[in-house]
Amino acid sequence: MTEDVHVPIDLSMKGMVALVTGGTRGIGKAIAERLLEAGAEVAVCARSEPETLPGFAGRDAVFFAGDVRRADQCRTIVDQAAAHFGRLDLLVNNAGGSPAADAATASPRFSESIVALNLLAPIHLSQAAHGVMAGQPGGGSIINIASVAARRPAPGTAVYGAAKAGLLGLTVSLAQEWGPRVRVNAIVVGLVETENAEQTYGSAAALHEIAAATPMGRMGRGADVADAVLYLASPLARFVSGASLEVHGGGEKPHFLDIVARSMSKSRGGS
C-alpha cells in the first residue's frame, strides 16, 4: 500500500507559466489576473490587443495575437508562449461563446465557426501544449472552460451547447491518454455576470430575476471561475484529472417547479 504524501496547502504559482485564451476580457481576464496574483507568468491571446492588458500589482500578462479558430495559429500561439517563457505549465482553453441563432436557419458557415471556436480550438491548442508539457519536468495541466449549456438544452445556441458537450467528452479522453504527465480537467460554468451582461441577458431586470432564481442568490462572477482554475492548477488537485467541476451556484431552477407552484396557488385560492 502506498503511503499518503502530505502536500502543504499552497496555491502559489510562482515559477509557473500559464496561457489563457480569450484572456483579455470577461472571464478570461479574471482568470489571467488571478493567476498573476498567485505568482504565475501569464500569456493571453485574442485576435486583437486590448488597450489594457490583465495585470496585478504592476505585473502584466504578455499578449500574443491570433485567431484560435485556425489550427496553424493555435500552434503558433503556444509555441510563442513557450519560447518566450521557456516552458508552459498551464493552458486554460477559455475562448468561446456564441450569439443566438435559430437552429433551423443557421448557415453552415455560422455553425462551423461556432464549433471551430468552442471545440476545435481547444483540440488544436491542447495538442500543441501537450507537445511542450509532456517533455518538460513537472509535466503540465490543461483546463477547459465549458458551460451548463453542455448539460441541458440550449435553445437558441444549439450548436454552442453541442460543442461544449464535445469539450467535456474531449476532457475525459485526453485525461486518459495523456496522464500522468498532463492532467486535463474542465469547469462547467453557469450564468455569469460580465461587463456585457445586460447585452447578453437582455436587461438589468432580467439579471435580477436570474440571480434571484439561483440557490446562491446571485449570478456567477469571473472571480468564481478564476478561483476554480487556481485550485485545479494547484498541487491540491494533483490527483484530479478527467473531472468536470461545476461552478454554477447550485444550478438553474427547473421551470416545472414554477408551474407546480402556480398550480398549487390557484388550487388553494379556489378552495
pLDDT in tens, the chain (271 residues): 556 666 667 788 999 999 999 999 999 999 999 999 999 999 999 999 999 999 999 999 999 999 999 999 999 999 999 999 999 999 999 999 999 999 999 999 999 999 999 999 999 999 999 999 999 999 999 999 999 999 999 999 999 999 999 999 999 999 999 999 999 999 999 988 877 665 666 678 888 888 888 888 898 999 999 999 999 999 999 999 999 999 998 888 777 667 767 777 777 765 4
Any idea what the Cα angle at residue 229 is, between residues 223 and 235, rounded to 5°?
130
Q: What residues contact 84, with CB distance under 8 A and at least 6 apart?
A: 43, 62
Looking at residue 216, its amino acid is M
The count of other CB atoms within 10 Å of the CB of residue 185 is 24
By the 8 A CB rule, do 88 and 132 touch?
yes
Residue-level pLDDT at 271: 47
| Residues 183 and 175: beta-carbon distance below 8 Å | yes
The model carries a pTM of 0.90
List the catalytic residues: 160
What is the pLDDT at residue 44? 98
CA angle centred on 188, ends 42 and 17, rounded to 5°: 15
Q: How far is CA 100 from CA 7, 80, 201, 214, 265, in A?
A: 45, 34, 11, 22, 35
Q: Do 32 and 103 contact (CB within 8 A), yes or no?
A: no
Task: Enter the DSSP assignment of 192.
Answer: B
Return the pLDDT at 258. 72
What is the third-level CATH fold of 17-270? Rossmann fold (3.40.50)
